[in-house]
Amino acid sequence: MSTKKESFKSFEELDCWKACRDVRQYVAKLVKKYPPEEKFRIVDDMLRAARSATHNIAEGFGRYHYQENVQFCRHSRGSLHELKDQLICSFDEGFISKDECEQGITLVDTALALLNGYINYLSRRKQRITNNE
């Protein structure tokens, strides 16, 4: 029996996807208290960015090629940065408290760190395969 960790069988096993899921769930709960007139403004933007973060990780995982997977993870990273700006904007406009903003940013920063680690892992794996061919 081998103790070596086998490759991931599902995107749901990825820590970066799990962290992005936490972000998505936080945002979905947070925006419920926004003013109704923001439903098709910042609320829609935030929900789309939060969902995009997990969606792109899942789609990239399904591509099976390292470079394509990395590219989708970069899209996910962009969505997380967009969401960070939307949290700051929400605070600036008085929709959320400083604590809610900081909690959201902490979740986003955690997801970004894990996602960057996964991107680095994929890049190293691609490099190893390229060097062995």
3-state SS of 53-108?
HHHHHHHHHCCCCHHHHHHHHHHHHHHHHHHHHHHHHHHHCCCCCHHHHHHHHHHH
Cα–Cα distance measured from residue 55 to residue 71, given in angstroms and rounded to the nearest whole number:
13
pLDDT at 126: 78
Q: Are 95 and 35 in contact (CB under 8 A)?
A: yes
- Return all residues near 96 (Cβ < 8 A) that are at least 6 apart: 30, 33, 87, 90, 104
Q: What is the pLDDT of residues 15-70, one digit of tens each?
A: 999 999 999 999 999 999 999 999 999 999 999 999 999 999 999 999 878 899 99
The pLDDT assigned to 133 comes to: 53
Query: In the structure, what pLDDT confidence band is assigned to residue 2 with cuts at 50, 70 and 90?
Result: very low
Q: Are residues 105 and 113 in contact, defined by beta-carbon separation less than 8 angstroms?
A: no
The Cα–Cα gap between 113 and 51 comes to 18
In 42-101, at which residue ranges do the beta strands (DSSP E only) sit?
none
Rg (CA), the chain: 17
Q: What is the C-alpha separation between 75 and 89, in angstroms, rounded?
A: 21
Is pTM beyond 0.95? Reply is: no
Q: How far is CA 22 from the centre of its chain?
A: 9
